[in-house]
Chain A
Amino acid sequence: MPTIYIDNKPFDVKAGKNLLEACLSLGIDLPYFCWHPAMGSVGACRQCAIKVFKDEEDTRGRLVMSCMEGVKDGMRISVEDETAKTFRSQVVAWLMTNHPHDCPVCDEGGCCHLQDMTVMSGHNYRHYHFKKRTYPNQYLGPLINHEMNRCIQCYRCVRFYHDYAGGKDLNVFAAHNHVYFGREKDGVLESPFSGNLVEVCPTGVFTDKTLKEHYTRKWDLTNAPSVCQHCSLGCNTIAGERYGQLRNVVNRYNHEVNGYFLCDKGRFGYEFVNSENRITQPLIRNQAIEAAGHDTVLQYMRTLVSGHTLIGIGSPRASLESNYALMELVGKENFYQGVPDDLVYVEQKIVDILQAGCIHTPSLHEIEQADAVLVLGEDIWNTAPIMALAVRQSVMKTAATHTTEQLPIPTWHDAAIKELVQDDKGFLANVTMLPSPLDEISSATMKAAPDDMARLGFAIAHILNPSLPEVPHAGEELLAKAADISKALQEAKHPVIIAGTSCWNNALIRAAFDIAAALHINEKKAGLAFVMQDCNSMGLAMMRASSFDRAVANIQRAANNVTAIILENDLYRSIPAAKVDAFFSKCKHIVVLDTLHNRTTEKAHVLIPAATFAEADGTFVNNEARAQRSSQVFMPANSEIRESFKWLADVKALLNTVSNGHAKHMEDLLVALENKYPQFAGVSRVAPPHDFRIHGARIPRESHRYSGRTAMLANMTVSEPKPLQDDDSSLSYTMEGYRGLPPSPLIPFFWAPGWNSGQSVTKYQEEAGGALKGGDPGVRLFEQTTTPPVFSKDIPDAFTPRVGKWMLLPQYHLFGSGELSVYTKGIASQSPEPYVSLSKRDAEQAQLKNGDTVSVKSDGKTYALPLSINESLPDGIMLVPAGLTGMEALSWGAWINHSTVTV
């Protein structure tokens, strides 16, 4: 470990880092703009200047940019040197010459890196008396606001958008002191990662348009650590509330999971919490007055639960606690996943593989470090965008590593590495049904039907481990592809295989496992990652309950007094309507707990308002089986809105003749879950218990500058109410409490003295860009074991189109397929209209043109949808977008009999 002398004090620092990283990791405040821990240094802004001295005698030294200079043992530097300080304040003064007088009307104000750095550099008076440069703005879509006057030309936006995330439509234009960051012309930003510009931009050029609708400064938000609800990756987020409304979502750094970035669906898809469509009142239907209070509805529930057979339908988007509470209430044998049979089958296979643990499941961070990636049949761009971003980094980093192995260039030297790497790419094989934006960085791609993709997988596994069965009747093309891919995987040190459930195909999962296991036998550290569908799909699947189809079958046999309790699940979105209707028709009473009105809640006899993630504490298990805690951001003003597990606990208390009268805490539920189901061992450790205190103090959800405490409710009554009491966690609803570093699962927001922006995260990290102090939040429930792998013998036949029949498969859209995210207007406006896709040949044979109306018959219903011909779609497959608003669930994977044209 090299020792460097900073202002004559010795410090041990990590080798291979640059001086800026070293100083920041040591907690020294050194201003910077263009450096970003995830993107490295380019030395563009000249803000991080320090002095470097030749030796102990040298008193003069020389100015260097600390981000461009690596640490060397025995090095002597000075941050506090007068020349360096003057230089830094002069640089920021230059940057400010054109910066507009906008802070009061700028959304970045209060969490602005430029403000922080200006104050830190000591520039406090404007000496420049000439005119300021101005720019026209652009319309960048419904999610991002553009105010170009505020730009300080640090190039972070293009470095992120273009280089890091691979977006093509944002770039730098014009020349010299006129450079312009924007699009070629007005238009919606195409990249699904555009929202990160808000956090990457050190000033207010790119700001959150959804926040603008109900603007609140960072210091006025009540924040809590939460977990994103829109896909299975479980990205860590910070959600902020003001005046009883959720106001914004920003990234919460987790080194192992999302790092510094979120996708737009996660960042902007929070508005469902504020929706008009929320269920706000318990309802007892078919009564004169349907609206009921807490006590009335429980009284009524007493008659529904006692003396009736209870059936519970769980939910992949409800927390582990809620699902478990329902399972406890109805009994394990009466608890079903609210998920169709085919999907449960695939998910069960995934859980089996993870639980057996013979292959390591990489976190997103580990995927970034992989040197060869095979994506087998999962459209990760749409179903797990941040994983796609991680895969992109692995491709880019591998190429960079090849270069730095030959030339001694440090990894943080971004511009130099880019120059050397040019167009070299690491290995990525993207095997999907449809083209994906990842294809352009892929070394090998294949577009095929799910079974054919699985066959490719088995062919690869066979090449890697010849003792595995050969793929029967494999074509030459397939074998050549398999040879290519297996060669690259074999050469790699840390290959990663990615598969998922979006094709609803079990063979793909088995094939992915076989490849990873075959690599593993060759003493490779292969990783195998799976993508699931919802934020707690993994948690629900790990409970190993039966599918909804089993519930339908069992209810037919049950007596005629069934009370079904449906937990936060719109069954019509995932299960064909006929099946759901058949189920409901056999239920005597239907109790639904949910957050938003939907088709399932319409069927409810008793409707109970549940809390969304922002109003509830809950534990969610992500795709790598990492259990993570999402904390309550705010208590709803309406006390009828409660966490589902609290409602269910009240219902359970009705059944027990003796009740101790005490509500159970969450951790009691989790401990009970752990004890009953050993696969959940460790889940109670995800966050400190509710009575955790630091020096007797709670951790405040509000910043110390939180304003309006004595006025915000004064219009109702001038006497201030008692601060809300949170009995479920150690976070408090006040500005008071422990102000030091909280344990990592309980970080409500990132702030440090002098660092108001999100860049303050450095102060929470072990080292700049490293793990959070005290370890990253989340507990991985499955760890690698030495169990020998069990290979599959069953290889599917090649996919052959059938005459007059099509295999019906879902197409997931990042914007549109989410149940909750479409409540954000900006996301809904980018959602596609319903359509049906056929291959070019199929369409020609049926004499169909683009836009013709095609009738799709599925599950006894006919849907008329406009045709969109997809040239790369394999023949014999019919694609329909999944989960668009107003579209019903279809029997994915089934063969559709007929499709007729009605023009």
Chain B
Amino acid sequence: MISHLRTMWLVFRHLFMKKATIQYPEEKVPLYPRWRGRIVLTKDPDGGERCVGCYLCAAACPVDCIALQATENEEGRRYPEFFRINFSRCIFCGYCEEACPTYAIQLIPDFEMAEYKRQDLVYEKEDLLINSEGKYPGYNFYNVAGLDAGVKEKGKGKDEETPVDIKSLLP
């Protein structure tokens, strides 16, 4: 009997407390910047694609929902020929973001991806690519890599010496 009364009292008290429910979708839920939602592909500061098609995200994906094909332009800069994420399989674990060595793949605070048809949850590169550097502004992988892929010449990168003169025998 006491327990019943106590319950009624608690419920009554809640009438005067702040509401936890929000009027979604009119009212948006506050999401933190590191919230792991929809996956995007970001761009380098020079506007080029950040993804170099290294396949690490695909290998890290526990549900194998990422498929891509790497290719390269005449300068040797790599980019994905196609990049496909099957969001009907994605579990938003963020392993792909963790694996990405170029900060290309990022999970952003957006989860509103519901579709009526499951097929529409298959995102191609055009759907994934955003015109932004995402969480890591100013980073360009090719500046720290040894490769000359049209971004910087050999020896011009961060912490690189000028190329060796192979004809020289000087110490």
Cβ-defined partner of A134 (8 Å) among B55, B119, B146? B146
Binding stretch for chain A, among B7-15, B24-32, B67-75? B67-75
Q: Confirm or deny: B154 has a beta carbon within 8 angstroms of a beta carbon on chain A.
A: yes
Q: Confirm or deny: A300 has a beta carbon within 8 angstroms of a beta carbon on chain B.
A: no
Contact A718 B67 (CB under 8 A): no
Contact B124 A715 (CB under 8 A): yes
> Beyond A102-B145, A134-B160, A714-B84, is A149–B64 a contact (Cβ under 8 Å)?
no
| Minimum CB–CB distance for A573 against chain B, Å | 34
Q: Confirm or deny: B54 has a beta carbon within 8 angstroms of a beta carbon on chain A.
A: yes
Cβ–Cβ < 8 Å partners of B141 in chain A: 104-105
Q: Confirm or deny: A710 has a beta carbon within 8 angstroms of a beta carbon on chain B.
A: yes
Binding stretch for chain B, among A57-65, A174-182, A263-271, A832-840? A174-182
Cβ-defined partner of A105 (8 Å) among B63, B124, B145? B145
Q: Confirm or deny: B163 has a beta carbon within 8 angstroms of a beta carbon on chain A.
A: yes
| Minimum CB–CB distance for B44 against chain A, Å | 13
A706 to B60 CA separation, bound complex (whole angstroms): 10
Query: Among residues 26 to 68 in chain B, which have CB atoms less than 8 Å away from a CB atom of chain A?
Result: 52-56, 58-59, 61, 63-68
Contact A135 B88 (CB under 8 A): no
* Chain B 74-102 near chain A by CB (<8 Å), digits 1 or 0: 00001000001110110000000000011
A706, closest chain B residue (CB): B64
A715 to B160 CA separation, bound complex (whole angstroms): 42
> Beyond A105-B54, A710-B89, is A100–B161 a contact (Cβ under 8 Å)?
no
Contact A135 B164 (CB under 8 A): yes
Cβ–Cβ < 8 Å partners of A214 in chain B: 69, 71
Cβ-defined partner of A131 (8 Å) among B54, B118, B160, B167? B160
Contact A217 B55 (CB under 8 A): yes
Cβ-defined partner of A707 (8 Å) among B59, B89, B146, B160? B59
Contact B171 A176 (CB under 8 A): yes
Q: Confirm or deny: B108 has a beta carbon within 8 angstroms of a beta carbon on chain A.
A: no
Q: Confirm or deny: A510 has a beta carbon within 8 angstroms of a beta carbon on chain B.
A: no
* Chain A 712-727 near chain B by CB (<8 Å), digits 1 or 0: 1011011100000000
Contact B59 A705 (CB under 8 A): yes
> Beyond A104-B54, A135-B164, A243-B69, is A718–B159 a contact (Cβ under 8 Å)?
no
Give the interface residue-count category, chain B: 35 or more
Cβ-defined partner of A711 (8 Å) among B55, B89, B171? B89
Contact A707 B102 (CB under 8 A): no
Give the interface residue-count category, chain A: 35 or more
Query: Among residues 99 to 122 in chain B, which have CB atoms less than 8 Å away from a CB atom of chain A?
Result: 101-102, 118-119, 121-122
Cβ–Cβ < 8 Å partners of A135 in chain B: 154, 163-164, 166
Q: Confirm or deny: B150 has a beta carbon within 8 angstroms of a beta carbon on chain A.
A: no
Contact B154 A132 (CB under 8 A): no
Cβ-defined partner of A104 (8 Å) among B52, B64, B66, B165? B52
A714 to B86 CA separation, bound complex (whole angstroms): 7
* Chain B 149-171 near chain A by CB (<8 Å), digits 1 or 0: 10000110001111111111101
Cβ–Cβ < 8 Å partners of A150 in chain B: 146
A130, closest chain B residue (CB): B159
Cβ–Cβ < 8 Å partners of A220 in chain B: 55, 58-59
Cβ–Cβ < 8 Å partners of B160 in chain A: 131-132, 134
Closest 6 CB pairs of A and B: A100-B146, A708-B67, A104-B54, A707-B58, A711-B67, A149-B146
Binding site for A on B (CB under 8 A): 52-56, 58-59, 61, 63-72, 78, 84-86, 88-89, 101-102, 118-119, 121-122, 124, 141, 144-149, 154-155, 159-169, 171
Binding site for B on A (CB under 8 A): 100-105, 109-110, 129-137, 147, 149-150, 173-176, 178, 180, 182, 212, 214-217, 219-220, 243, 705-712, 714-715, 717-719
* Interchain Cβ contacts under 8 Å between A and B, 12 examples: A100-B146, A104-B102, A105-B52, A133-B164, A134-B164, A136-B164, A137-B154, A178-B166, A214-B71, A220-B59, A707-B67, A714-B84
